[in-house]
Chains A and B, each alone.
Chain A
Amino acid sequence: MTPRELLGRWLSRQIPTEAWTWLDKSVAQIRNSGKDADLYLAVSLVTRKVGKADLKLTEADQRDAHSSRSGWDPRQWSVDQAARIMLILELESDPLRLARALEQLCNTADVGEQAAFYRGLPLYPEQPRYIARATEGLRTNMKAVFEAIAHRNPYPSEQFPEPAWNQMVLKALFVGATLWPIIGLDRRANPELARMLCDYAHERWSAGRPVSPELWRCVGPYASGTMLQDLERVLKKGTEPERAAVALALHASRESAAVSLLEREPALTKSLARGDLSWERIVAPN
C-alpha cells in the first residue's frame, strides 16, 4: 500500500462516518475539479470536520508505514495531520503542481497546518524539491513546528547537505528540543558538527548555563584533542546524567585516548557493559 492509501485506511477506521464522508468527498472534488482553491479550502477545514485526536496506530500499522516508505514514523501524528497530508497527496501524480500548491499552503498556514505540512515531508514526490522549504521551516521559533521537521522524520537525514544538518542539530539544542528523536543522528555525525557543539558547550559554560548531556552524542565519534579534554571535564565535574552521556559518547569513539579515559571509570564501564545506559533514558529517565 502507498502512504496515501494507508492514511486513508487509518482515518476511515478511526474518524466518525460523517467526517470520513466529508474527507472522501473533498478528495474527489480535488481530483475532479483540478482547482487548487478546493485543496486550500479542504485543508483549512480539516480540524473543524475531522478533529485533532491522536492517530491511533497498532504495531502492525507502524510496520506497514515503514514498508510503504522506509523510515516513515507516524506514531505521533494526529488525525488532522493525517487528513491534511492525504488531501495534499491527491496531487502526487503531478509533482510540480503538488510542489506549487504546497508552497502556497505553507505561505498562509496556521500553526497546526505548518506542523502537518512538515510532518508530510517524507511522503511528497520528488523529494529533493523540498530541501529549501524544510530549511525555511527550521528557521521558526515555534518548537512544535521545528520538531515536526526534526523529530521522527527521515527527511532531513536523507536530504540535507551537511551545513543544513549541522544547523538543525545545533538549533534543536537552542530551542530546547531533544536530540534522540532525530532520525539519522549517529549516521550523520561529522567532525564539523562535533567542533560546533564543543564551541557551543564552551559558550554555555562561560555563561554559567547548563549544557544538555545529549550534546556529547554527536561529539563522541569525532572527539580528539581539546574535545577529549571537554569530555574529561564533564566526567570529573558533571552531574550523573552528564557523566553517563559522556560514557556513551566515549564508547562510540575508536580513539585510544577515549578508551583510556573510559577505563578510569569502572562504575560507568560496568553500566555500559550491562546495557543500562541509553541516550533516550538520559533525557527521559522513565
Chain B
Amino acid sequence: MRFIDPHIHMSARTTDDYERMAAAGVVAVIEPAFWLGQPRTNSGSYLDYLSSLVGWERFRAAQFGIHHYCAIGLNAKEANNAALAEEVIALLPRYLLKEGVVALGEIGYDDQTPAEDKCYRAQLDMAKELDMVVMVHTPHRDKKTGTITSMKVAEEHGVAPGRVIIDHNNEETVEDVLNRGFWAAFTLYPHTKMGNERMVEIARRYGSEHIFVDSSSDWGVSDPLAVPKTAQLMLERGIKADDVEKICYGNALTAYGQSGQIKDSDWLDPAPIDQRNLFEGNSVLRGQQARVDELQQIPDRLKDVVFK
C-alpha cells in the first residue's frame, strides 16, 4: 500500500524522517506554509520561507524518492501582526501559481480575532479569483465554533465546499463538515490532536467518503509515520483495505488533485524531464502498479503502531 501525507512540515524534519517515510510507502507529501514557532518580524523572512517550499525542500524530498507539493498562504497566528500580514498577502500571488502548489493554505482561525477574519477573507477571495483549492486550519481552542465559522465564511465568499479541505477535525466537528460537503481531514498528532485508535473508530462510524488523514508533523513532538501507522492499525482492526487506501492515499489525491498540480502519474510514471531534474537515478516506482492490499516492509520503529 502506498501513502500520501497531505499535511506535514518537512522543513522541520530530518533526512532520517524522509528515509523512514519512503521505506514505509509514503510517495508524496504536501507541506502547507505555516508559523515557525518563532514569530516572523518582517515579510522578507516569509518570502525566503515560501521560496524554500517551492525550491530547496522539494529537491530535498526528491533525493529520497518522495514527491513534495505545497500549499501557500498566510497562517492565522501571523495574521495578527497587521503590518506583516498586509505585506505577505501582497506577496502571495507571486507564489500561488507556481508548479506543485496544490492549494492556498493553511489559512483560517487561531484566536478567532478580527485580524484573522480579515486575512482569511482576503485569501478566500484570492483563491476564488485564481480558482484554487483551499486548506483550512481549524483552531485548537473553541474548535467547534471556529470550524463552523470557517465553513460559513468560505461559503459566503463563494468558494465551493468540494474545493475546501477542513483540517484538524475531531469527533465533535466531523459530522458538520461532512454534512456541508467539505473534505474532512484528521490530524494524527500525539497528545494535542487525534490519537490513531480514535481514528479507527471514526473510520468505522463514518466510512471513507470525503475523509482522509495527515500527520501535521512539525518541530513539535509529532510522528512523520502517523499515516502508515494508522493504515496498519486500521487493517489490524478490521477496516477494509479499500477504505484504508482511500483514507490514507486516494481521497487526499482526489481533493488536492482538483488543482491539477498533483497526479498519481507523478510517481507512477514520472516524466523523463523530472527524472533528469530532480529524481535522478530513482526509477523505483516507474510503471509499477498499485497494490492496495499489501503493506511495504515496515521499518523497526513503525512496529509500535498505536499512539495516543
Is chain B a partner of chain A in the same complex?
A: yes
The reply to whether B47 and A112 contact each other, CB–CB distance below 8 Å, is no
The reply to whether A109 and B55 contact each other, CB–CB distance below 8 Å, is yes
The reply to whether B54 and A110 contact each other, CB–CB distance below 8 Å, is yes
The reply to whether B260 and A114 contact each other, CB–CB distance below 8 Å, is no
Question: With A and B bound together, what is the CA distance between A114 and B278 in angstroms?
Answer: 13
A212, CB-defined interface residue at 8 Å: no
Query: Chain B contacts of A110 at CB under 8 A?
Result: 54-55, 58, 98-100
Q: A108-B50, A111-B55 are in contact. List 18 more A-B contacts (CB 8 A).
A: A37-B93, A41-B93, A44-B97, A48-B97, A52-B271, A53-B273, A54-B272, A54-B273, A78-B273, A107-B47, A109-B51, A110-B55, A110-B58, A111-B54, A111-B59, A113-B98, A115-B277, A141-B59
A118, CB-defined interface residue at 8 Å: no
Residue in chain A with minimal CB distance to B96: A44
- Determine the interface band of chain B, counting residues with CB < 8 A from chain A: 20 to 34
Most buried by B among A44, A48, A115: A44
The reply to whether B47 and A111 contact each other, CB–CB distance below 8 Å, is no
Most buried by A among B51, B273, B278: B273
25 A/B residue pairs, CB under 8 Å, sorted by A: A37-B93, A44-B94, A44-B98, A47-B99, A48-B97, A48-B261, A52-B273, A107-B51, A108-B51, A108-B91, A108-B94, A108-B95, A109-B51, A109-B55, A110-B98, A110-B100, A111-B59, A112-B277, A113-B98, A114-B55, A115-B277, A142-B55, A142-B56, A144-B277, A144-B278
Query: Chain A contacts of B99 at CB under 8 A?
Result: 47-48, 110, 112
A-B contact number at CB 8 A? 58
Residue in chain A with minimal CB distance to B53: A110
The minimal Cβ–Cβ distance linking A67 to chain B, given in whole angstroms, is: 27
The minimal Cβ–Cβ distance linking B94 to chain A, given in whole angstroms, is: 5
> B residues bordering A, Cβ < 8 Å?
47, 50-51, 54-56, 58-59, 91, 93-95, 97-100, 260-261, 271-274, 276-278, 280
| Interface SS of chain B | helix
| Interface SS of chain A | helix
Most buried by A among B50, B51, B95, B280: B51
Question: With A and B bound together, what is the CA distance between A222 and B171 in angstroms?
Answer: 74
Which residues of A in the span 222-237 have a Cβ within 8 Å of any Cβ on B? Answer: none
The minimal Cβ–Cβ distance linking B88 to chain A, given in whole angstroms, is: 13
The 8 residue pairs across chains A and B that have the minimum distance between CB atoms: A110-B54, A144-B277, A44-B97, A142-B59, A47-B99, A110-B98, A108-B94, A52-B273
The minimal Cβ–Cβ distance linking A122 to chain B, given in whole angstroms, is: 20
The minimal Cβ–Cβ distance linking A211 to chain B, given in whole angstroms, is: 21
Question: With A and B bound together, what is the CA distance between A109 and B94 in angstroms?
Answer: 9
Query: Chain B contacts of A97 at CB under 8 A?
Result: none
Question: With A and B bound together, what is the CA distance between A40 and B97 in angstroms?
Answer: 10
The reply to whether B51 and A143 contact each other, CB–CB distance below 8 Å, is no
